[in-house]
Amino acid sequence: MEFLIILGIPMLVLALGAGVVLVSQVTGFMQQGSFSQRENFSNNLIQQYVMQIAVAQTAVGQRSQELEILTSKLVLSNQELGRLNEMKSKFMSMVVHDVRTPLASIRGFSELLLKRSTGEKEAQYLKNIVGSTDQLGHLIADLTDLAMIEAGKLKMEKAVFDFSLVATDILPAMTINAQKKGVDLVVNPLPEGLMVNGDRFRLSQVLMNLLNNAIKFTPPGKRVELTLRAEPRGAGAYVKDAGIGIHRSETSLIFEKFYQAKFQKDEKLRKQGWGLGLSIAGEIVRAHNGIIKATSPGLGKGATFFFRIPLNS
């Protein structure tokens, strides 16, 4: 429709322009010639004028036909795109499902062998296998979440619970991770009796993603600080680190799926992940009507990640 208007306006201007020229010619002649001469002359001009309008109309007609063809092609390719996207999601959830079972078996048997093993080297190899299966397990879990999000099936199981539990549920595992990396994990006193209505498991998952990132992107010997607190009509969690920081142009982009900051030059850190954690965290927080954000004074200057949810989300 807009296209038709855009197309129609120049045509109209053309026709009107021709009209103005004609009118000025007519007025000039009218002042000089006899009555019948003047009548013939003006009839000719009007005929020309009508012909030009007819040509313009045909051109508009042709263009609008072309536009209709283009629109129907666009509708078809949109439908095709939707179908392909659906196929991709189905394929992803099938693969994820089929990988999970053998992975659990590899991990289980490796742990069994680890318990029985006597050789030091053998034990180390088995620990490596367990570690790698855990890594793969995380990826599979993230891909499962992603598939569910894309299919609109990631459901929150909400209940009223003490917000501090999102931290206490995961702190034992996070403390071990921080120790392994040599990062100093400081937990500020947790608020008492701050009740929220939300999915405890999923909100812990959000905090775990933020803490794991903070530990990963902070060099040994530096500090990561966790604060949970009451906010006006809500509950907030803050993870502040003294790590590699984020360029200001990327503090929002990193929440997109598969996005990893390009200004950070550490290839080794990048390869430790897939760029999925924050996008999943974002979906979970949004499902609680909350907000999630990253701030950083710049590269090399650390970063703070926080999320806030309303008490009754």
Ligand X SMILES: Nc1ncnc2c1ncn2[C@@H]1O[C@H](COP(=O)(O)OP(=O)(O)OP(=O)(O)O)[C@@H](O)[C@H]1O
Report, in Å, the least distance between residue 241 CB and Mg ion.
13
Q: Given CA atoms 178, 182, 188, 192 in this order, what sign does their dihedral have?
A: positive
- As a whole number of angstroms, the distance between CA 313 and CA 311 comes to 6
- For 309, which DSSP code? E
**Contact track, ligand X, 104-143, x by CB under 6 A:** --------------------------------------x-
Residue 215 interacts with ligand X (CB under 6 A)? no
How many residues bind ligand X, per CB under 6 A?
21
> By C-beta, is 167 or 281 nearer to Mg ion?
281
User: Would you tell me which residues interact with Mg ion (CB under 5 A)?
Assistant: 213, 273, 277
Report, in Å, the least distance between residue 118 CB and ligand X.
35
Residues 149-178 that bind ligand X (CB under 6 A): none
* Phi–psi pair at 289, nearest 5 degrees: 60, 30
Which residue among 154, 261, 285, 292 contacts ligand X (CB under 6 A)? Answer: 261
Residue 145 interacts with ligand X (CB under 6 A)? no
- As a whole number of angstroms, the distance between CA 260 and CA 275 comes to 5
Tell me the sheet residues that pair with 68: none
Q: Tokens 């010619």 — which residue?
A: 25
> By C-beta, is 183 or 196 nearer to Mg ion?
183
Residue 246 interacts with ligand X (CB under 6 A)? yes
The identity of residue 140, as a single letter, is I
- Strand 184-187 to 159-162 pairing: unpaired
Q: Which of these, 296, 283, 281, lies nearest to 249 by C-alpha position?
A: 296
Q: Tokens 């509708």 — which residue?
A: 75
Burial of 244 (0-12, 13-18, 19+ CB in 10 A): buried
- Strand 184-187 to 223-231 pairing: parallel
Point out which span in 11-19, 44-52, 148-156, 270-278 binds ligand X (CB under 6 A). Answer: 270-278
Residue 196 interacts with ligand X (CB under 6 A)? no
Which residue among 164, 303, 308, 313 contacts ligand X (CB under 6 A)? Answer: 303
Point out which span in 47-55, 197-205, 229-237, 243-251 binds ligand X (CB under 6 A). Answer: 243-251
CB of 246 closer than 8 Å to CB of 261: yes
Closest-approach residue to ligand X (CB): 273
Give the DSSP H/E element, type plus range, for residue 224. strand 223-231
Report, in Å, the least distance between residue 213 CB and Mg ion.
4
Report, in Å, the least distance between residue 147 CB and ligand X.
14
Binding interface with ligand X (CB under 6 A)? 142, 209, 213-214, 217, 241, 243-244, 246, 254, 260-261, 264, 273-279, 303
